[in-house]
Structure formats: structure tokens, C-alpha cells
Amino acid sequence: MNNQETINQLELLKLYGIANAFKAVTQMGVQNRPTLEQFVAQAVESEKNTRNKKQTELYLRTSRLRFDAVLEDVICSSERNFTKEMLLSLGDCGYIQRNENLLITGKTGVGKSWLACALGHHACTMGYRTEYFSMNKFIEKIALAKLDGTILKVINHICKRDLIIFDDFGLKPLDDNTRLALLQILEDCYEKRSIIFTSQLPIGKWFDFIDEPTLADAIMDRIVSRSQRIELKGESLRGRIK
């Protein structure tokens, strides 16, 4: 088997990182080629990096994040009530490892959705499956799933994610189906997954927004327990964030 056939076989086996490492070695002069031990180490490292890159690309594609935001672009300042230290404390994804929720509140335009998407993007690069939902589209998704009988399938799919983002909570009234679906998701994810909520409403008004006392008690208990709160302040950033 010649070198090209070896490369073809590696690619057929989807060992693209090893194939690239082998291809690079064959293009070196004999006197410059690594030892067997060095090559194996390089090939394994190349394969690991290739798989990590493909996994990140897959996670980002399926996350459906609203913004192509990254942590480096998040504006930190005392005026925003969000410091670099706070951003760094979230950057290790420890809140996901601890199965904590993040509750991001603030008036319109202060960057709640941008921050949530930046955290979601970072979670994908760190190997955590993430999915984003605007609450408007989530309500529509639940309504359609209820009609076609796939509601349990939709809920089970969402609950398999490591990080779930519900954006603009409180913007559109919840119907009974959405309240029940949200409660089921929160119940299944409690102490197992992390959820980010963003909202223009202060957390103290979420109970009234849910507008069904019994379900509101159960929903709020699971949202607020094991959660971190971030209240963004300052002027609107619309036009500054691209």
C-alpha cells in the first residue's frame, strides 16, 4: 500500500487528523522526519484537535444562537453592573458543572441576549451541548408539538442539552401548554442541567407574569433555586453591539 492509499484508508475510517499528520510527514525529507514515537504522539494530538473542532462546529450549528457573540466582545463596566471578574467567573463554565441557572435581567437594549449568546457560544467550545430559544418561538414550538402529538419528544430533546437558553422571558404571555411544558423541563433539568433566562421583567414580577398560582410556585421554585442573578444596567447598547 503506497502513501496515498494509506491516506485514503485513514480518511475512509474518518481519522482525518491522523491522515493530515501522516500526509505532513510524507512531505518532509527523510532526515527531518520524527521518530515513530514522536509521530504517534503528533498524530494522536492532531486527531484529538480535529475531533474537538468538528464537535464545536456541530454544537454551534445545533445551538441556533441568535447572535454570533463571544465572551471577548462582552462589555464589562461598573456602570453596567457587570465586571470583568464576573465574566471570568462564568468563563470556566462552573455554573454548568454545578447545574446552576443564570437569571439575566435588565431593561431593553442593555445586552441581555448578547451576553446569553456569548455564554452559549463559549459553552459549545467547552464541549457542552447548548440550545437557544426565544420565548416567542418556544411558545409556538410547544403549541405545534401539542397539536401533532410530539410534545414529549420535544421536551425530551431539550432536556438532553447541557445548557438551555430561554431569551426574553416575560415578553409574551404563557398559555397553559407552555406553562406545563416549562415546568416539565425545569423538573427534568433540576440539578442535572443549567438554564439561562433573560428578561426585561425584574425577577420579583415573574410569579405574576406566569399568572397561575399553583404552577407559578412550582416553576419559580425550580428557576430560582440553585441560580445566579445578573442585573444589567446602563444605557442601551443597540448599535454598539454588532
Q: What is the pLDDT of residues 170-229, one digit of tens each?
A: 999 999 999 999 999 999 999 999 999 999 999 999 999 999 999 999 999 999 999 999
Give this prediction's pTM. Answer: 0.83
Stretch 46-61: mean pLDDT: 88
The CA-to-CA distance between both ends of the chain, in Å, stands at 52
Stretch 6-25: mean pLDDT: 83
Q: Give the pLDDT confidence of 71-111 residue by residue, as tens digits.
A: 999 999 999 999 999 999 999 999 999 999 999 999 999 99
Name 224's Cβ contacts closer than 8 Å, sequence gap at least 6: 101, 103, 203
User: Across the chain, where does the E strand assignment appear?
Assistant: 101-105, 130-134, 163-167, 194-199, 227-231
How far is CA 193 from its chain centroid? 11
Per-residue pLDDT at 242 exceeds 70: no
Architecture of domain 64-231: 3-Layer(aba) Sandwich (3.40)
What angle, rounded to 10 degrees, do the helices at 176-189 and 213-224 form? 30
Q: Give the pLDDT confidence of 227-239 residue by residue, as tens digits.
A: 999 999 988 887 5
For residue 7, the model assigns a pLDDT of 85
For residue 29, the model assigns a pLDDT of 78
Cell of 14: 474518518
For residue 63, the model assigns a pLDDT of 97
Q: What is the dihedral of CA 205, 211, 214, 217, to 10 degrees?
A: -20
Name 191's Cβ contacts closer than 8 Å, sequence gap at least 6: 99, 226
Report domain extents, the chain: 3-62, 64-231
| Distant-in-sequence contacts of 209-213, Cβ < 8 A, 24+ apart | 209/170, 209/173, 209/174, 210/174, 210/179, 211/173, 211/174, 212/176, 212/179
Res. 15 pLDDT band, cuts 50 70 90: confident
For residue 241, the model assigns a pLDDT of 53
Neighbour count for residue 192 (Cβ, 10 Å):
9
